[in-house]
Amino acid sequence: MDPVVQFVSGNIQLQDWKNKYASLMALGSIAEGPEKMKFYEMLMYSLQNLLQMFKDKNAKVREAISWVMARISEHHADVLSDPSIMSQFIFCILDAVKDRPRISNQCCSAIMKLASSLEPTS
């Protein structure tokens, strides 16, 4: 996980949309694998910056962050379950649903996966 985190942190804030896109794709690609607590800590540190990417001027970056949030919703819903984080997340997702179809599709997937992941078990 460390090489990916270094890549992401070194490229995600660059101006070129390709760097942001590549960083997000790398982050989303490792969402399922790493130790939960380590990924949780990294997400808590960077979640505000990630949510800001929903406002990026490039549609590919917005599509990638929507996909990343769907992956996080599926594999790390506990990060988003904090009420203050959940409200910010839902606000960003609901606003992004109005975006292009590919972005909207990923946002709907994120909502569905989050609801499924946080569903109480009996």
122: helix, coil or strand? coil
Query: In the chain, pLDDT over 90 holds for what percent of residues?
Result: 62
Is a pLDDT exceeding 80 seen at residue 122?
no
Q: Summarize pLDDT for 65-91 with one digit per residue, the tens.
A: 999 999 999 988 888 888 888 889 999
pLDDT at residue 66 in the model? 97
Instruction: Give the Cα separation of 76 and 71 in Å (integer).
Output: 8
Residues 6 or more apart whose Cβ sits within 8 Å of residue 96: 54, 62, 66, 103, 104, 107
Instruction: Give the Cα separation of 55 and 81 in Å (integer).
Output: 22
pLDDT at residue 14 in the model? 94
pLDDT at residue 120 in the model? 81
pLDDT at residue 71 in the model? 94
pLDDT at residue 76 in the model? 87
Higher pLDDT, 98 or 117: 98
Please say whether the structural domain 2-118 has been given the CATH code 2.30.110.10. no
Please state the domain extents for the chain.
2-118
Cβ atoms within 10 Å of 23's Cβ, excluding its own: 23
- What is the rounded average pLDDT for all residues in the chain? 91
Q: Summarize pLDDT for 18-63 with one digit per residue, the tens.
A: 999 999 999 999 988 777 788 888 888 888 899 999 999 999 999 9
Instruction: Give the Cα separation of 14 and 8 in Å (integer).
Output: 10
